[in-house]
């Protein structure tokens, strides 16, 4: 077992440096052999780092090992967390993890066939996104959004999405306009297929994310991401409605038509009307 950690590292006494190079080397070797056991990771072999007094002749075996490289295990965990987070988010938006559902790290890790670390990081990110909440002694669970707060969410989102449409019109390139048109064409083609909550909510989120990205306003984009997430959280079953699916595509087409025409005020009005209409439809029972 490694000794207790101090502000200088492990508690093992530091080696003694003397004027005699041989004695100094022996002291460093003895210290390294006793300290290396606390720094070994599973399956690794101890590496002996030898230091010498300034007067001693450097030895080839004393070459330093680069410490700036991120361990592969940490990098893999980060990549897994990046994939687990959107998976959980999509399941929340699709209603597969409804409001109030406990986000048990062990259970989710087993279900997704991954280790607990990336799941724990993904759940923390959901909390940061406003899609989950942590309660002491109860753990994390999917956030619940009530009727009154959702009215406030849509009131703010209506104004901000209008601004996003306006700014996107002024900044959009020909290629970006073409990409938006392709997105709404894809959404329209999906109307011939049965409703799929996860797919349809993803298409809607991707469309609005694209416009906000074109607007190139980071504070606006980040604010709208949280508001949009709460809107999807409130009624995931709205994507099961054929009427809502049809109306959503038509409203998206009007937004893109205004952006294509260079009508910034028209894009603002179409974006505001889209969110206002959605706010009414989403509360209908």
**Ranges of CATH 1.20.120.530 domains, the chain:** 147-281
Q: What is the mean pLDDT of residues 62-89?
A: 60
Task: Note the pLDDT tens digit of each residue in 19-46.
Answer: 454 554 444 444 444 444 433 333 444 4
Q: Of 19-28, 96-105, 114-123, 173-182, which gets the smallest average pLDDT?
A: 19-28
Task: Note the pLDDT tens digit of each residue in 58-71.
Answer: 444 444 434 444 45
pLDDT at 45: 42
pLDDT at 1: 46
Cα dist. 222→158, 161, 242 in Å?
15, 12, 30
**Ranges of CATH 1.10.10.10 domains, the chain:** 72-142
pLDDT at 49: 43
**CATH-assigned architecture of domain 72-142:** Orthogonal Bundle (1.10)
Q: At CB < 8 A and 24+ separation, what contacts does 100-105 make? A: 100/141, 100/142, 100/144, 101/141, 101/142, 102/138, 102/139, 102/140, 102/141, 103/132, 103/139, 103/140, 103/141, 103/142, 104/139
pLDDT at 140: 95
User: Among the ranges 24-33, 40-49, 189-198, 214-223, which has the highest mean pLDDT value?
Assistant: 214-223
Task: Note the pLDDT tens digit of each residue in 137-157.
Answer: 889 999 988 878 888 999 999
Is the pLDDT score of 77 beyond 60? no
Q: What is the mean pLDDT of residues 127-133?
A: 90
**CATH-assigned architecture of domain 147-281:** Up-down Bundle (1.20)
DSSP 49-111: -----TTSPP-GGGPPPP--SPPHHHHHHHHHHHHHHHHHHHHHHTTSS-TT-B--HHHHHHH
Q: What element of type H or E holds 141?
A: strand 139-142
> pTM to 2 decimals?
0.64
Output the six-digit token pair for 271: 């974006």
Residue from 97, 114, 98, 94 nearest 106 by CA = 114
* Sign of the dihedral defined by the CA atoms of residues 137, 140, 144, 150, in that order: positive
């Amino acid at each position: 077992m490694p000794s207790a950690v101090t502000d200088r590292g492990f508690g093992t006494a530091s080696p003694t440096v003397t004027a005699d190079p041989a004695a100094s080397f022996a002291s460093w070797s003895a210290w390294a052999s006793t300290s290396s056991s606390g720094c070994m990771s599973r399956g690794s072999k101890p590496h002996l780092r030898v230091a010498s007094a300034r007067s001693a002749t450097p030895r080839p075996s004393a070459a330093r090992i680069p410490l700036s490289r991120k361990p592969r295990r940490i990098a893999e965990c980060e990549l897994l967390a990046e994939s687990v987070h959107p998976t959980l988010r999509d399941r929340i938006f699709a209603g597969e993890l409804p409001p109030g559902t406990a986000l048990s790290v062990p259970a989710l890790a087993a279900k997704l066939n991954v280790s607990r670390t990336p799941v724990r990081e993904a759940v923390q990110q959901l909390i940061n996104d406003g899609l989950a909440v942590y309660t002491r002694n109860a753990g994390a669970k999917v956030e619940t959004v009530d009727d009154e707060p959702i009215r406030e969410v849509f009131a703010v989102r209506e104004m901000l999405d209008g601004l996003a449409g306006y700014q996107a019109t002024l900044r959009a390139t020909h290629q970006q306009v073409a990409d938006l048109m392709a997105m709404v064409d894809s959404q329209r083609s999906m109307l011939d297929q049965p409703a799929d909550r996860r797919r349809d909510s993803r298409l809607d989120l991707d469309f609005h994310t694209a416009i906000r990205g074109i607007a190139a306003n980071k504070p606006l984009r980040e604010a709208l991401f949280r508001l949009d997430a709460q809107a999807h959280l409130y009624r995931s079953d709205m994507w099961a409605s054929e009427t809502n699916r049809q109306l959503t595509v038509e409203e998206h087409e009007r937004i893109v038509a205004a952006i294509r025409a260079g009508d910034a005020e028209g894009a603002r009005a179409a974006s505001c009307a889209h969110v206002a209409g959605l706010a009414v439809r989403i509360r209908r029972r």
